[in-house]
Amino acid sequence: MNMIRNISFFLTYTIVQASFAIAQVSNDPAVSFKIKPLHPVAELRAEALKDTPPQESGDFLPTDLVELIKLDPTIKTEIRYATTNNFMGTPMYTEARAFLQRPAAEAVVRANKKLHELGYGLLIHDGYRPWYVTKMFWDATPPEDHIFVANPAEGSKHNRGCAVDLTMYDLKTGKAVSMPSGYDEMSPRAYSDYAGGTPEENEHRAILKKAMEDEGFHQIPKEWWHFDYKDWKRYRIGNVDFKDIK
């Protein structure tokens, strides 16, 4: 009986703690979830810049990164990794820009135009990401939350220029729509199949998913905002800074 009571107490405590953690995150789409990095960010950056991406072999397409807003000025950007409003709490990028490989970028433009017919537009949080930043994210994040960040040993689809983090904005108000969780939130509310959002939030997520998947993207299970382009395997892992993209 004592063992049963202990198990019951443990399960109850775990559920309460998880519920408490979720309750601490903000429902404001303008506010990012935050963690406490395991190491000082300056140290993480220095170590990551000394390291190199994993070696790859194969027949890859040439890199052709293009800036999204130059293809379609109606696409909005809010690059939080260029600010303190991100899960690391410090700027990770030196420039607030969003790039993708050209075919992926053109697919985002098509999705944006289709959403206009429904009264929405796309708001981009991130696109191509240098590999060293992915390593910083991994080294800063507690192991129990590694499901929310890419393993630098494998590289991220962001590193290949074939992943985009985004949401929608209302064309009438210009403001981001409500979603079941905030961007970069490390909780079950961020899952693409989370059913606990309001009807409006769940509808927004479904509209975004359809628009992106119709253009060759796939929404990942743990992050409703993250979409991978179908041809991501055809591009190499990149580690070039924004300022060096021609």
What is the structure's pLDDT at 164?
98
Domain boundaries, position 220: 2-244
Neighbours of 2 (CB within 10 A): 6
Predicted confidence (pLDDT) per residue in 65-85, tens digit:
999 999 999 999 999 999 988
Candidates 111, 103, 137; CA nearest to 235 is: 103
Alpha-carbon distance of 52 to 56, in angstroms, equals 12
What is the structure's pLDDT at 4?
47
CATH number at residue 64: 3.30.1380.10
Burial of 233 per CB tally in 10 Å (0-12, 13-18, 19+)? exposed
Q: How confident is the model at residue 121 (pLDDT cuts 50, 70, 90)?
A: very high
Say whether pLDDT at 149 is over 90.
no
Give the mean pLDDT of 116-139.
96
Say whether pLDDT at 1 is over 60.
no
Q: How confident is the model at residue 18 (pLDDT cuts 50, 70, 90)?
A: very low
What is the structure's pLDDT at 43?
85
Predicted confidence (pLDDT) per residue in 189-214, tens digit:
999 999 999 999 999 999 999 999 99
Which of the residues are catalytic?
A: 223
What is the structure's pLDDT at 5?
46
Instruction: Tally DSSP H helices, then E strands, for the chain.
Output: 6, 7
Residue matched to tokens 């990095």: 37
One-character DSSP codes across 76-108? EE--GGGSS-STTSS---SS---EEEHHHHHHH
Give the mean pLDDT of 158-166.
98
User: Which of the residue ranges 38-52, 158-172, 193-207 would you say has the lowest mean pLDDT?
Assistant: 38-52
Alpha-carbon distance of 22 to 186, in angstroms, equals 9
Which is more confidently placed, 32 or 180?
180
User: Which of the residue ranges 50-54, 100-104, 111-115, 143-147 would you say has the lowest mean pLDDT?
Assistant: 143-147
Q: How many domains does the chain have?
A: 1
Which residues 6+ apart lie within 8 Å of 108 measured at CB? 68, 72, 75, 100, 122, 124, 164, 166, 215
Strands 65-67 and 163-170: unpaired
